[in-house]
Amino acid sequence: MVQRLPEAQDVAACLEINAFDTPPFYSTSSESFRNSVEGYSAPQGNYDPAVRSLHNLAHLFLNGTGGQTHLSPNDPIFVLLHTFTDAIFDEWLRRHSPEASIYPLENTPIGHNREFNMVPFWPPVTNAEMFVTASENLGYSYEVEWPARPLTLTQIITVTVVAALIVVAIIFAAATCVIRSRSYRSEGRRPLLGDQYQRYDDHDKTQSITCGSELLMMKMDELPDFRDVENKLGRKVPESLIRSFTGEAAIRCSESHARADDLNTLNNKIRFLRQQMAHLRSIDVKLMHQLLSINEGIESIRWVMEERGGVASREGSLTGSLYSLSDSQDASQQGSCSDGLDGISVGSYLDTLGEDDPENDSPSDLTDSFSNKPVVEEETFKKAPHRPRVETDEYYCFG
């Protein structure tokens, strides 16, 4: 004895079958909506001889008169059961909208081919003419709440992905709101002046104080007396006019500081050039010492040549070179016009440099190296005493 009735999910699974009927168009057909709704196959469409579902399962549950095929119309529930079965068939037609051509044309049980007449209608009506929905063609409809369709694997995956995207979007929106709220709070507590304006050295502090004092003095001296203007006009002077005056004063203050900076830069460059010129003059003195050494060597050679009999006159080229070197030494001690100093001596030049550069040594420290004492004694340029010539075959050795 059957102890259960068909469930709502069985009806939903039966409505999802696409094919109306499949060969052999009998109680053994598989994947057939017709065979499943009659109850010979499982609700999902697969055939199993031991399975009874939907229509057949309800008859077996009623038992008695309702459980026997030739006596079941005598059971009062027969009409209700077959009415609901017809409602399932009408819902399948509405969902799938099949063509009349899919109805089996032949090889079906007697009376069930497409062009066979239905019993007991008169005038005759074929099966194909009744293969239509009831509400649009037969004038009646069923008020039934059908169970929800089961979700397929594709639908489940789609729903999962959409739900995950929604969750991610919600988390992103919440994080954005939190970050913005924190940034607004930090901006509300941020000082008006940043670190680059709050950190300055003593030089900048001195300049700012000086500029501020100069600006205040300029305001006091240059701003007109607005009280007379206010008394004459009978209204207060606009603040924009006052700001324009103070702005011009600030611009003039900044320009004066810029000029002062340029002047300091120029003074530094001039001091550097003077130091370089002093260095060049010291190199010139060293060169003069080397020339004097060469002069002594030339004089020694001249003495040797006199001893050998090759006496050169004072007007000769060697003597001329000697005197030209001595003259150039005297001229270099007094300063030359070609070095761009206009005849100023080295000592006077260093005195000028010392006045501009207090950090360097005073000119008195350099007096010894640039004194007016001649570097070479006058006896150096006098003619050496004539020695008696000695006739000998010996060679001179120069050590």
Summarize pLDDT for 277-316 with one digit per residue, the tens: 988 988 988 999 899 999 999 998 988 888 876 544 444 5
May I ask the CATH architecture of the domain 8-136?
A: Orthogonal Bundle (1.10)
Cα 35 to Cα 25: distance, rounded to the nearest angstrom: 8
Residue 318 has pLDDT above 90, yes or no: no
Cα 66 to Cα 3: distance, rounded to the nearest angstrom: 15
Locus of tokens 């003593």: 202
Cα 34 to Cα 21: distance, rounded to the nearest angstrom: 6
Q: What would the mean pLDDT of 102-117 be, rounded to a whole number?
A: 94
Residue 390 has pLDDT above 50, yes or no: no
Residues 6+ apart with CB under 8 A from 49: none
Cα 335 to Cα 277: distance, rounded to the nearest angstrom: 13
- Confidence (pLDDT) at 263: 86
Query: Among candidates 281, 287, 289, 286, which has minimal Cα distance to 352?
Result: 281
Cα 131 to Cα 98: distance, rounded to the nearest angstrom: 9
Report residue 152: phi and psi, to 5°.
Answer: -80, 170
Q: What would the mean pLDDT of 324-348 be, rounded to a whole number?
A: 47
Residue 351 has pLDDT above 80, yes or no: no
What is the pTM for the complete model shown? Answer: 0.42
- Confidence (pLDDT) at 64: 87
The tokens for 224 are 């007109």
- Confidence (pLDDT) at 181: 85
Locus of tokens 């929905």: 133
